[in-house]
Amino acid sequence: MIVDLPATSTAAVSKRLLQLRNEVGALALGRVLTLIVVVNDEAADDAVEVATEASRQHPCRIIVVVSGTRRGSNRIDGQIRIGGDAGASEVVILRLFGQLAAQGQSVVTPLLLADSPVVAWWPREAPADLRNDPIAAMASRRITDAAEAARPRAMLDRLAQTYQPGDTDLAWTRVTLWRGLLAAALDGPPYEPVTGAAVAGAPDSPSTDLLAAWLAWALKVPVTREKTPTGSGICAVRLQRPGGVIDLARPGDFVATMSQPGQPDRKISLRRRGDAECLADELRRLDADETYADVLRKGLPALGAAKGATRASTVSESKRAAERLRRNRAAQLATMVPTLVPTMVPAGRQPS
């Protein structure tokens, strides 16, 4: 059911929600949190679709704040979606015009669920400093997406400088499967320390930066980030150990190859995760992600920079790219103190 409320007010929206709750009954009950989505008009439909799909695992009230033009008179165009059009949620879309376009906090406050957590999500560009954003101040959990920024790495650096407990980013959530596979690869004999690592990924992939930063922070070894073609995402990871290397290479979007000394190559499902799946993951935990904080503030500064760009679009090419990095780093690796393997296990997050 979709109910349009043109030129409305928050009081009218609240009243209509109450009426619909009485009409629909249980479908409008059982919400566990309020999800505020801050987005521009062009991306609003996609954001609503993603949030609605994520809400099937976490029933919530979704409030979508769409800032329109600040010219002209103040106006709120509202829309309410419940039932099949809202997944397991009740969706309130507010398009703000005039001076109200800059007053999102005041508009959404009367619509928040009482005595429940508030989560804010910016599907596209996020505020430069979440610490000074009014909507961010309302939320116990703040979700950004560096992959949508014009300069993803610069955004990661900015997030590191302005981090506060409760911040997270979907670029970090997208590496959960990679982290789980790499941790599992080290959780078995011969239990040798890792002496160096290389990560190959697209220059526009903040997830590649975060995966490399996580390795640098967790293993306390030099990690080199090598570039692959734009849009390819994370392509390969190589972990160097005294007894040989561990290679995890994904030439496409679904299947990766794991290569370990003394074992045959294995095909592993490693698909690219969708935004709805990642958002649902972040709604599952509302506490501070301390691992993400350490990776941002300690792992990113520790990263080395690869020279040039290499196409690592196949397993063999990924291996050759990592081997070149290993040779270039050989002198430095010899002086490093090995770090125990157990520090590789991610804290506070289980592979999904």
Q: What CA–CA distance (Å, rounded) separates 193 from 239?
A: 10
Number of folded domains in the chain? 2
- The answer to the question of residue 166 being in a domain is no
Predicted confidence (pLDDT) per residue in 248-258, tens digit: 999 988 999 99
- The answer to the question of residue 19 being in a domain is yes
Indicate whether 183 and 294 sit together in one domain.
yes
Indicate whether 131 and 272 sit together in one domain.
no
- The answer to the question of residue 168 being in a domain is no
Q: Which residues pair with 144 in a beta bridge?
A: 169
Predicted confidence (pLDDT) per residue in 72-99, tens digit: 899 999 999 987 776 767 999 999 999 9
Indicate whether 131 and 239 sit together in one domain.
no
Q: Which of 144, 163, 196 is the last residue of a domain?
A: 144
pLDDT recorded at residue 350: 35
Indicate whether 101 and 19 sit together in one domain.
yes
Q: Does the pLDDT at position 311 exceed 60?
A: no
Indicate whether 129 and 182 sit together in one domain.
no
Q: What is the mean pLDDT of residues 274-280?
A: 96
3-state SS, residue 350:
coil
- The answer to the question of residue 8 being in a domain is yes
Q: Which of 144, 160, 194 is the last residue of a domain?
A: 144
Indicate whether 13 and 137 sit together in one domain.
yes
Indicate whether 186 and 132 sit together in one domain.
no
Indicate whether 214 and 339 sit together in one domain.
yes
Indicate whether 23 and 81 sit together in one domain.
yes
Q: Does the pLDDT at position 48 exceed 50?
A: yes
- The answer to the question of residue 202 being in a domain is yes
pLDDT recorded at residue 21: 80
Indicate whether 257 and 318 sit together in one domain.
yes
Peptide bond into 190 cis (omega under 30): yes
Q: What is the mean pLDDT of residues 286-300?
A: 95
Q: Does the pLDDT at position 306 exceed 50?
A: no
- The answer to the question of residue 158 being in a domain is no
3-state SS, residue 143:
strand
Indicate whether 190 and 325 sit together in one domain.
yes
Q: Which of 36-45, 74-83, 113-122, 321-330 has the lowest mean pLDDT?
A: 321-330
**Radius of gyration for the chain, computed over Cα atoms and rounded to the nearest angstrom:** 23
Q: What CA–CA distance (Å, rounded) separates 158 from 181?
A: 29
- Which range marks the domain in which residue 229 is found? 176-344
pLDDT recorded at residue 110: 95
- The answer to the question of residue 279 being in a domain is yes
Amino acid at 326: R
- The answer to the question of residue 61 being in a domain is yes
Q: Which of 18-32, 177-191, 327-341 has the lowest mean pLDDT?
A: 327-341
Q: Which of 144, 167, 202 is the last residue of a domain?
A: 144
Phi, psi values for residue 194, rounded to 5°:
-85, 130
pLDDT recorded at residue 339: 31
Predicted confidence (pLDDT) per residue in 125-145, tens digit: 999 999 999 999 999 999 999
Indicate whether 101 and 208 sit together in one domain.
no
